[in-house]
Chains A and B, each alone.
Chain A
Amino acid sequence: MDKTLRVVNTLKKGKLIEDYAIAGGIAAMFYIEPILTYDLDIFVILPREMKTNQLIDLTPVYDHLKKRKYKWKGEHIIIEGVPVQFIPVDELEEGAVRNAKMITLKGVRTRIITPEYLVAILLRTGRKKDIVKVEKLLTQAKVKTAVVKKIVRAHGLQNRLATVIKGMHE
């Protein structure tokens, strides 16, 4: 995966994206026990010029990757053997990217969403598998409760968090 991240870093260096962070199952797995997932989700903040008239255009990113001979498989682009999905951020996710944690994987510097933002994002998505991840994060990771509460309050997710916590104690 380090090779994949090296390629993703070239997108930022080439100013095709403003910033990015690892999200989804892989981000969760950074903090919790290994879980089965099939792709690498990358949240991307696009440069202002790529967000015209409220339209989000990932074409420059895909063109760059196509030039490097990376191929599509369904909704993923396979970069150095890993199916990657680039996800342009919304407001909550932008906060997650801007506050992401810097890590190093086999010498490659990258950024990964904090467990506090992951909890909020997973609560919002709210599928059964997301709630399982929230429970794992709350029991296996060092999650700053005050920070989670602040994020979920800002995005109206307090009730969802309360329901999950209640369910964990039943």
Chain B
Amino acid sequence: MNKRSSVSQRGKTSTVRKTIFRQKKEFHQMQARLSFAEKIRILVELQKIARNIKKKDIFVWQI
């Protein structure tokens, strides 16, 4: 790989990374805009996952 193509490859990688990080940021912001009730529903699902992984005495909200 010559110097020019190496620079070009790096440029492409950088663009791809920027796109990925922008998409990630947009996803998190979209999640932040969910209704409070929907966030609570997701929270209960997260608690169930945590209980299954940690096998600990995790209290899952009974709502």
Contact = CB atoms under 8 A, between A and B. Distances in A.
Interface stretch (A33-41, A44-52, A57-65, A146-154): A33-41
Contact of B40 (A1, A103, A136): A1
A8 interface: no
Contacts, number: 59
Contact of A82 (B29, B34, B50, B61): B61
B12 interface: no
Contacts of B25: 139
Contacts of B47: 36, 38
Given A34-B31, A106-B37, A83 B59 contact: yes
Given A3-B63, A81-B63, A140 B28 contact: yes
B20 interface: no
Contact of B43 (A37, A78, A136): A37
A29 B37 contact: no
Contacts of B37: 105-106
Contact of A36 (B29, B32, B36, B46): B46
A14 to B, nearest CB: 23
Contacts of B31: 33-34
B58 interface: yes
A141 interface: yes
Contacts of B28: 33, 136, 139-140
Contacts of A105: 36-37
Interface string B45-63: 0110010000000110111
Contacts of B29: 33, 139-140
10 nearest CB pairs, A to B = A81-B62, A33-B31, A140-B32, A34-B42, A36-B46, A34-B39, A33-B32, A81-B63, A32-B32, A33-B28
22 contacts: A1-B61, A1-B63, A3-B63, A29-B39, A29-B43, A33-B29, A33-B39, A34-B39, A34-B43, A34-B46, A35-B43, A35-B46, A37-B43, A38-B59, A81-B61, A81-B62, A82-B61, A82-B62, A82-B63, A83-B59, A139-B25, A139-B29
